[in-house]
Structure 1
Amino acid sequence: MGKIVVLPLDDPRRAVLEAEGWSIAARSFGAQLDAPRVDRQRLQQLVAEVERSDSLRELTVADVNAVLSLDAATFDDYPGSVATRHERLGRLRATPSVFRRAYGVFLPAGELVAMTFVDVEGVTAETDFTVVRRDQRGRRLGFAVKACSVLALLSYGVTRFRTGGSADNAAILRANDAMGYIRDEEWVTLEQDAR
């Protein structure tokens, strides 16, 4: 692998680097949802769709082993490059707290199959990651855990929600759009071939 640089999409250095032979290896984005724009009814519907068959709730310290298991099963599933790389969870990062909230979907048999982790600082919450086990994708579980996190954090006084990730992750883009997030940052990861 050659050199890598991450730049805002409209950074003038991008054209210079591309003219020098650098190529786009990945695209990423950032998005925001502010409390006044939250459609609570829509988010409640997303949660209700899942709660008809599965359990959706805030994760606790008692769920750490399930979190670590799901993280291990999905570690290689994150699209993108260095700008959106998911770091494997250790026990500390897998442990929810007042500043690191987490929400998950459990099958009736008790298996954790979807989760989102959100870092909270004051009135701002930033999604660290959202993931769904491969065999459960297509059921809108990612939509539901993200919606659940926003609804819960609104009740704790959070007014600004940030998220981001790979622009190649169609599922998370659809989930964010369904929830009302507005993309306000676009980035490119440029790579120079090793010579």
Structure 2
Amino acid sequence: MGETTVLPADHAEVAARLDAGWRITARSWAAQLDAAHVDRPRLTALVDRIAPVVVRELGTADLDAVLRLDAATVHDYPGSVATQHTALTRSSATPTAARRAFGALTPDGELVGMTFVDVEGDTVETAFTVVDGTHRGAGVGQAVKAASVLALLEDDAVVRFRTGGSDNNQAIIAACAALGYRRDEEWVTLGPPATVRSR
């Protein structure tokens, strides 16, 4: 009968599939922050307010900590296929000029939050953001996202930041709103009709 499909929420095929018995199993979104509209003092305050936790760019020396945090949180991403996160490997966790990473570390050096972003020409796309379960609700996710934006603003070529997530992830929705992102895309995940077994 078909496989799970992700489509823009306003796509004509969505209504046709719903009429044919398909069902919406998840909703997701995307948002944009234009470099020209970034409120730098506000983002700086979001980073500073989680002190004594320190937010900084991550490098190869942080690989073990990155992999530990990723392994501990890999099953915590809400939503469906559109917002799934694939566990990092040492290769995919290694920052490069095109794949930057920013993390939040406690005074004793524990990595408790991180965001990875992909730089493609004039656009920065968030790959994922995650916070350790014991530190959620304290602004860590907002801080690492804010730090990534502030750092990449120094690259004059960057004109826009893109991000997204599941409609069920209220924490990341709040974080993006705090940074000034504006939603501009809505997506639905459609599951095929249930198979009716003949008797």
TM-score (norm 2): 0.94
Q: Residues 147-158 of structure 1: matches in 2 within 5 Å?
A: 147-157=146-156, 158=158
Correspondence for 2:192: 192
Where 1:77 maps in the other structure, the secondary structure is coil
Q: Residues 32-181 of structure 1: matches in 2 within 5 Å?
A: 32-50=32-50, 52-157=51-156, 158-181=158-181
Q: For 2:181 and 2:119, locate their aligned partners in 1 and report how far apart those are by CA, in whole Å.
A: 17
Where 2:107 maps in the other structure, the secondary structure is coil
> Would you say the 8 A contact 1:114–1:133 is kept in 2?
yes
Q: Aligned pair 1:17/2:11, yes or no?
A: no
Correspondence for 1:26: 26
Question: 1:56-78: CA deviations, max 9, x gaps?
Answer: 10000100110000000000000
Using the TM superposition, give the Cα deviation of residue 138 of structure 1 relative to its aligned residue in structure 2, in angstroms: 0.4
Matched to 1:130, the amino acid is T
> Would you say the 8 A contact 1:3–1:194 is kept in 2?
no
Matched to 1:182, the amino acid is R
Q: For 1:58 and 1:193, locate their aligned partners in 2 and report how far apart those are by CA, in whole Å.
A: 46
Q: For 1:156 and 1:39, locate their aligned partners in 2 and report how far apart those are by CA, in whole Å.
A: 16
> Quick check: 157-166 or 180-189, which moved more?
157-166
Task: Say which one has the larger Rg.
Answer: 2
Matched to 1:111, the amino acid is E
Using the TM superposition, give the Cα deviation of residue 119 of structure 1 relative to its aligned residue in structure 2, in angstroms: 0.4
Using the TM superposition, give the Cα deviation of residue 193 of structure 1 relative to its aligned residue in structure 2, in angstroms: 4.0
Task: Tell me the C-alpha RMSD between the 2 structures.
Answer: 1.0
Determine what percentage of the aligned residue pairs are the same residue: 58
TM-score (norm 1): 0.96
Q: For 1:167 and 1:128, locate their aligned partners in 2 and report how far apart those are by CA, in whole Å.
A: 17
Question: 1:8-43: CA deviations, max 9, x gaps?
Answer: 001111111111111111101111111111010110
Unaligned runs of 5+ in 2: none
Matched to 2:85, the amino acid is H
Correspondence for 2:8: 8
Runs of 4+ deviating beyond 6 Å = none
Using the TM superposition, give the Cα deviation of residue 156 of structure 1 relative to its aligned residue in structure 2, in angstroms: 2.0
Q: For 1:148 and 1:37, locate their aligned partners in 2 and report how far apart those are by CA, in whole Å.
A: 16
Q: For 1:3 and 1:35, locate their aligned partners in 2 and report how far apart those are by CA, in whole Å.
A: 38
Unaligned runs of 5+ in 1: none
Matched to 1:69, the amino acid is R
Using the TM superposition, give the Cα deviation of residue 3 of structure 1 relative to its aligned residue in structure 2, in angstroms: 2.5
Q: For 1:127 and 1:3, locate their aligned partners in 2 and report how far apart those are by CA, in whole Å.
A: 27
Higher-helix-fraction structure = 1
